[in-house]
């Protein structure tokens, strides 16, 4: 009955990440000794202090629909986190909480891209980026960087990829999957190029910011000329081992945040109430509370290298 399905779903690829994870589970069920390297999922439990906050929220009867874009208290915790960790100043109107950072990215693509608009994707990139762009009827434009460039495109490559149809640039730093990190100087070089193209919006996925061993993390939105044209994506899945809790968020220009709120209001509405209350506690905690996980990942990284 494939012919009765929409072209949209027929043309949409299956998530390669989820397909690999399913294959790993299948092989494990067959008794094979498998190490799955597909999902970006810490093998730690969610920290006890976060779980306790969720239990308290249940006991305090948080069970109603939440504001579409997140509890005000969670927005405040996100605002403080952005200021503390990223030197970014936002207000509540610029924050939207979603069901994971993936939905945050999808919201942005849906509200910005028209049919035929191009989105630059520095490669390698997380496999869902291209599918999300295509779902929004945009055109993904890959700009490749190999190992000889430490998997990081240059400002010159960025300029060469821009066309009159370019509407968006989407990248992650630290990068998924390579782990490479764009330095402040490299981000400034991008900003210098983009100064000639004021209508291009940059979407910076920073969910791996704390699992980083190659330099100081920098946010491109912290560059003054980029603040009003950058959407910063983050969430709690990686740093806090909360993948299944499904909470992501954006800091963005108000006009983009309002559009994402409108989009989300017609798709999922607000994120799970219990998870949101737990995330308030997670984000208010000092980074030292999750340092044990960061240190363990560092030892594993050193072993593999």
Q: What is the pLDDT of residues 94-135, one digit of tens each?
A: 999 999 999 999 999 999 999 999 999 999 999 899 999 999
Token duo for residue 283: 């984000």
Higher pLDDT, 85 or 1: 85
- Residues 130, 34 share a domain: no
148 and 283 in one domain? Answer: yes
Q: Which CATH number does the domain housing residue 121 bear?
A: 3.40.640.10
Question: Hey, what's the torsion of the CAs at 256, 257, 261, 264, to 10 degrees?
Answer: 70
pTM of the complete model: 0.94
* Boundaries of domain holding 211: 48-304
How far apart are the C-alpha atoms of 261 and 254, rounded to whole Å? Answer: 10
**What mean pLDDT, rounded, does the chain reach?**
96
Residues 6+ apart with CB under 8 A from 165: 116, 117, 118, 139
- The average pLDDT across 217-229 equals 98
Helices and strands (H, E) in the chain, number of each type: 11, 7
Q: Residues 120, 212: one domain? A: yes
Q: For residue 15, what pLDDT band results from cuts at 50, 70 and 90?
A: confident
pLDDT at res. 148: 97
Do 70 and 213 lie in one domain? The reply is yes
- Is 1 a residue whose pLDDT tops 80? no
Domain count, the chain: 2
Local confidence band at 85 (pLDDT 50, 70, 90 cut-offs): very high
Report which DSSP code applies to 206: -
* Residue 140 sits in the same domain as residue 96: yes
Determine the pLDDT at residue 17.
84
């Amino acid at each position: 009955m494939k012919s009765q399905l929409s072209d949209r779903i027929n043309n949409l690829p299956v998530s390669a990440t989820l397909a690999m994870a399913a294959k790993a589970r299948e092989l494990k069920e067959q008794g094979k000794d498998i190490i799955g390297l597909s999902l970006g999922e810490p093998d730690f439990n969610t920290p006890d202090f976060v779980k306790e906050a969720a239990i308290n929220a249940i006991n305090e009867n948080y069970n109603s629909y939440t504001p579409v874009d997140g509890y005000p208290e969670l927005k405040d915790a996100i605002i403080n986190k952005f200021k503390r960790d990223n030197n970014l100043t936002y207000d509540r109107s610029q924050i939207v909480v979603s069901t994971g950072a993936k939905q945050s990215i999808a919201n942005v693509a849906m509200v910005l891209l028209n049919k035929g608009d191009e989105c630059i994707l520095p490669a390698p990139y997380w496999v869902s980026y291209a599918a999300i762009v295509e779902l929004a009827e945009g055109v993904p434009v890959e700009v490749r960087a190999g190992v000889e460039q430490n998997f990081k495109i240059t400002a010159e490559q960025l300029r060469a990829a821009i066309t009159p149809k370019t509407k968006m640039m989407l990248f992650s730093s630290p990068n998924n999957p390579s782990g490479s990190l764009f330095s402040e100087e490299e981000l400034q070089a991008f900003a210098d190029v983009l100064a000639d193209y004021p209508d291009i919006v940059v979407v910076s996925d920073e969910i791996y910011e704390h699992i980083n061993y190659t330099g100081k993390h920098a946010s491109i939105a912290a560059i003054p000329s980029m603040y009003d044209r950058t959407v910063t994506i983050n969430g709690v899945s990686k740093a806090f081992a909360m993948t299944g809790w499904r909470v992501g968020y954006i800091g963005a220009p108000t006009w983009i945040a309002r559009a994402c709120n409108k989009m989300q209001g017609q798709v999922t509405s607000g994120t799970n109430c219990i998870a949101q209350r737990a995330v308030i506690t997670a984000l208010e905690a000092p980074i030292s509370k999750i340092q044990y996980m960061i240190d363990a990942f560092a030892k594993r990284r050193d072993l593999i290298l």
